[in-house]
Structure formats: structure tokens, C-alpha cells
Structure 1
Amino acid sequence: MEHTQKFDGSTTSDGNESADSDAGRLVGSDRVLAVLKELARYPEGVGLEEMTRVIGSPKPTVHRALSSLRRAGLADQNARGHYLLGDEFLRMAFAHHEARPEHVRIRPVLDELAARFGETAHYAVLDGHEIVYRAKVDPPTGAVRLTSTVGGRNPVHTTGVGKLLLSLQLPTSAAVEEWIGDEPLVARTPNSLCTAEELYRELEVTRERGYAVDDQENEVGVNCIALPVYAVSPTVPSGALSLSALTYRTPLDVLVDAVDEIRDVLGPLGRPHE
């Protein structure tokens, strides 16, 4: 019978430590990964006491997880004794991100749109009920900028990119209801569309016009227009581009009026092809 070594020195049979004896408690590799993810929240570093409190495991156990990450170069310790993400982790993350084919191809488009409109351009993809930002370009000028980050997430139903991509996957009201499931959609602002009926109508309109809008549905004071991007497959969007703007600076109707101009900048990346 196989045994699996745990961080606290004990063993379990057949590798079922998480499912059987430690249900609800982080063990083994799950704990190491939880510590790694938590480190990302502290760019200035975090002490062992704070990490122990957040992770909810004994201090020696968390310390051993941190030591494992340090040996792999995925964590480091600064002069104050605080832990933070290691250079090797950052090297791998940035190298992987820069090598994504869609990121490389879409970046010049984002640069041009951000410079031309003086607003923020994003490229994002679907991940379940969330969208993930793969690239972001802020305008070259302007004191006020958006807080979105590469790797950051937002709900699908409150974002232009999310609704644009969802419209191509959920053609019927039944499909929308199934996608929503039993968990109610959360309203981020008073404008958020949170019922199956509202969302289906919005997706239907989005499919017909070929672009989506976010009318202050994810964040008050911010709107956007989103279009599909065909960076990998000639027929299926790899993600979506959004031009996100502060409403007082660039109202939504200005973005909508510029949709053809945005399509021109996208060029072949914005059209399905054989």
C-alpha cells in the first residue's frame, strides 16, 4: 500500500489525505499552493505570523511550505524577514505570458487604441463565470487610470468582454438559465443585469450588432465597448478586446459611434476567416 508524506510528518494511505482524514483542512501540496497564491497578495512581503493566520495551519507547517517554495525559487525572504514571490516565479510567469500567441498579436492593437482614444484597452478571455485580463494598455496621458490588472478577474455578466464572448456560446434562453445555475448573479452596480431574462435579451442584441457594451454595469463611472478577437482560431474568438473609458471623459455613445474605427484598427484580428 502506498503512503504519502504530509508536511506535518505523518502519512496517509493511497494519497487520500485531503478527502478522508483532513477534510476541510489544507494539507500537502494544496497547502503549498495556497501559500504561493497568498504571497501574490503581498507585493511588499508578509510575515510568518500573518501568513499563518490567513492560511489557518500551524506555524511550523506554514514555515515548511514557505521553505519548500524558497528552495524552488518560487518564494523569497527580504531583509525584514518577510516572504514574497520569488524571482523564479516572476520569470516563469512573465515568460509564459509574453509567449502567448494571442498576447503578442493583440498588443499593437491595444497600443494604438489606447493612444488614439486616450482610454484603456484590454484583451480578455473567458474562464467559467469570470473573465481574465490577458493584456492591458493604459493611455499614454491622463492622471486617472483604471485599476484593472493583467491576470485580474471580473464577472462575465457585468463586463463587455464577458457578454460578447458569452453571446457566442449561449444562443437560447434555456442555455442562459443553465449557465447561471442555482447561484444568483451578483449585482456590481445598479445597472448590472442579474436575471436570466435580462441577460438573454442583452446577449441576443449583442449577437445581432456584433459588439457588446458595459454601461456602468461592473463599476460606476466606467463604461466600455467590446469586440471579438480571432487571434488563434480563424472561426472561434480566442478572446475579446475592450476599450474601457471613464464616463465623464468618454461617454458610452462616443465609444459606440467609434465602433467602425475600432474594427479598422483590429483589422483581420477582428474578423472570422477561412
Structure 2
Amino acid sequence: MTRPGEVQSVARAIDVLELLADLGRPTALSEISEETGLPLPTIHRLIRTLVARGYARQLPSRRYTLGPRAVRIGEVAGRQLGAGTRPHLERLARELGESANLAMLDGDMAVYVAQASSTQSMRMFTEVGRRVHCHCTGVGKTILAQLPSEQVRAIIGSAGMPPATPSSLTTLDDLLAELALIRSRGYAIDDGEQELGVRCFAVAVPGSPTPAALSISGPETRVTADFGENAVPILRDAAAAVGEQMLGSAG
């Protein structure tokens, strides 16, 4: 659905590109039409334009995937979003010995824009560009805690609260209570809510033009409550440095 102030044709083309990205597999025109709610002739015109520009490609099966130009834009966007912040994440990962992640709000989801892996043999790895629900991740809950309740309700109304694990929050009331706790103590915990056996501590990135969060995550056997007590102040210092870097890049 086109929002006020948007150009309809551009919005529809973006909807098609996002659908191809979200599905992650070759997709028929009929499925694109069904998923977007757009008429088949409209989808055909949009896809024909996207293929001609290289943002989509047609396979011999007559199904469609993202094209090479989409790859280039994704790579450049990733470099720009993570520009200057990776050294801070690498330093954080070295100091705490676990994987560090930077995520930002992307519509009604959180997207990872930079990452530094732990050097340990058993470690957590999050792909840059991955989009995740906000209600069941440390970075996502930290991002939501920066927003007014009305916006949180709108995000959850759009994205829903599908449980990633049995530990995931599943009701809006529980989520709002959790966000109040995060605001009070200044950090979030993902205690096996996104992936069983994994614990994450996350803090807000102050001054970020878009709500953002910095996290440290690893196996729950290493990322304990004592680990968190030591890690959170270090996380806050790193988040402040990342925020300053973002503001400097924006200027």
C-alpha cells in the first residue's frame, strides 16, 4: 500500500524487490502478484522494467530472482551504513571475547549493518544485512525501547510476534513491560529468545540518526550474568563511540 507522499510506481517496484529478497528463492509472477496484492499485468510491467535495469533477472524456469545490480547496491549500502563503525566492533569483540553486532531499525524490523566475530571456536555469527523481528532479539528490544509506545504498537501490529523459540515473548503486554525494564536498567537481554542456548546483551547507540543498538552475544555457558555485569559498561562506551562516528559520518 502506498503511503502519503510516496510515488506509487516507485513504491510498487520497491515492494517487488523486497519480496524477492524476503523470499530468497526463484519466484513466479503469479506468486509475486498474490503476495503484493497487485494485479498480474502491473507485476509484469514492473518486473520487465526491473529486469531491463538489472535489478531482477529471469531464470529459464520463467521465475525471477534479484539481479546483479541489486547486489552492487546492497554491498555499497552495507559499506556506507557500517562505515567507520567496524573498528569499534572489532575492539569490542577482542576485549570481551564474543561476537559484536550493530543493528538499526528498518521499517518494522531490525537489520544488522555491521558485525565482528569472536575468535573462539564456538562463536555466534550474524550475517550483515539480515533482518530480524524486534520483539525476540536484544538489539530489536533495545531499538523498540527508544520509541514511543504508539510506534511500538504499530510495528508489532505490522510485523507480528512470531516466536523464534519457546523463550520468545508472544504478547504485546509482556513486550511493553520488558521495554519499560530495558529503559529503567539501560540495557536489554536476549535470553535464548532468538536462538536457544545463546544469550545477548544490548545497549542503545546514542545520537544515531536512526534508532540503533550495539550487542555482544555468545553461548549462554560463557555469556553469563557475571559476564553481563562486566560487559554492559564496556558496551556503553563502545556504543557512545559508534554514535559519535555515525554523527560525524552524517555531517
TM-score by length of 1: 0.65
Aligned 8 A contact 2:133 2:159 in 1: no
Aligned 8 A contact 1:51 1:62 in 2: no
Higher RCO by CA contacts (8 Å cutoff, separation 6 or greater): 2
How far is the alpha carbon of 1:107 from its aligned partner?
A: 1.7
Task: Show the counterpart of 1:209.
Answer: 185
Structure 2 CA distance for partners of 1:75 and 1:219, relative to 1, 3 Å: same
How far is the alpha carbon of 1:29 from its aligned partner?
A: 7.2
Runs of 4+ in 1 over 6 A off after TM superposition: 28-31, 57-64, 77-82, 174-179
How far is the alpha carbon of 1:84 from its aligned partner?
A: 4.6
For residues 115-173 of structure 1, what are the alpha-carbon distances to aligned partners after superposition, in whole Å with 9 as ceiling and x for unaligned? 33343221112245422222222224425543x332322222212122222223247xx
For residues 89-120 of structure 1, what are the alpha-carbon distances to aligned partners after superposition, in whole Å with 9 as ceiling and x for unaligned? 222222233223xx223221112222333432
Letter in 1 for 2:67: G
Matches within 5 A, 1:17-56: 36-37=17-18, 39-40=20-21, 46=26, 51-52=28-29, 54-55=31-32
- Whole-Å separation in 1 of the counterparts to 2:121 and 2:22: 27
Q: Does 1:136 align with 2:115?
A: yes
Aligned 8 A contact 2:167 2:192 in 1: yes
How far is the alpha carbon of 1:245 from its aligned partner?
A: 1.4
Aligned 8 A contact 1:155 1:162 in 2: yes
- Higher helix content, 1 or 2: 2
Report how many aligned residue pairs link the two structures. 236
The percent identity for this pair of structures is 34
Matches within 5 A, 1:87-102: 87-100=68-81
Aligned 8 A contact 1:193 1:217 in 2: yes
Q: Does 1:251 align with 2:188?
A: no
Q: Which sections of structure 2, spanning at least 5 residues, go unmatched?
A: 3-8
**Alpha-carbon RMSD:** 4.2
- Whole-Å separation in 2 of the counterparts to 1:140 and 1:251: 18
Letter in 1 for 2:163: A
Aligned 8 A contact 2:108 2:159 in 1: no
2:130 equivalent among 123, 147, 152: 152
Task: Show the counterpart of 2:5.
Answer: none
- Whole-Å separation in 2 of the counterparts to 1:249 and 1:265: 20
Aligned 8 A contact 2:136 2:164 in 1: yes
Moved more, 61-70 or 208-217: 61-70
